[in-house]
Amino acid sequence: MTWPGHRLALTLAVSVLAVWVAGMALTLRVAALKPDDTGTMLVVFAPGTEPDAAFTKLVNAGGTPVRRTWLGSVWVVTGDAPGLAGRLMQQGAMGAYRDLPVSPELAGCFAYADAKMAELFSLR
């Protein structure tokens, strides 16, 4: 009996990675805000964008920077003028997405727990 060897493992790994990349690309496309959207949002710039340059682009688009996330090229911005998301894209943002109600934590996948979940798993 012969075993398929490393070629099978490599093929499976590449296949899983390709499906994951395609799924993430589709998810990000669907989750992106429309150009006329406004409010509080996550704004993603290209990796390596200098914080000062990103800040300037946010302000030039008419947004008010709230904070930078732990990913240096992702900012939380807010604004009331219609079309903020579109203006951010014109300033060079890769995408604008609705802000999460709480900060996501890396736990094998992105997940978050609110106060009810914390109470459920507390040791009392």
Contacts (Cβ under 8 Å, ≥6 apart) of 33: 41, 85, 96, 97, 98
- Does the structure show a pLDDT above 70 at 122? no
Kindly provide the b/e burial profile for residues 39-57, where b requires at least 16 CB atoms within 10 angstroms of the residue's own CB.
eebbbbbeeebeeeebeeb
Q: What is the C-alpha separation between 24 and 64, in angstroms, rounded?
A: 28
Class of domain 35-120: alpha beta
Q: What is the pLDDT at residue 102?
A: 47
Check pLDDT > 80 for residue 123.
Answer: no
pLDDT score of 104 more than 80: no
pTM: 0.65
Q: Which amino acid is at 116?
A: K
Interval 96-116 mean pLDDT: 57
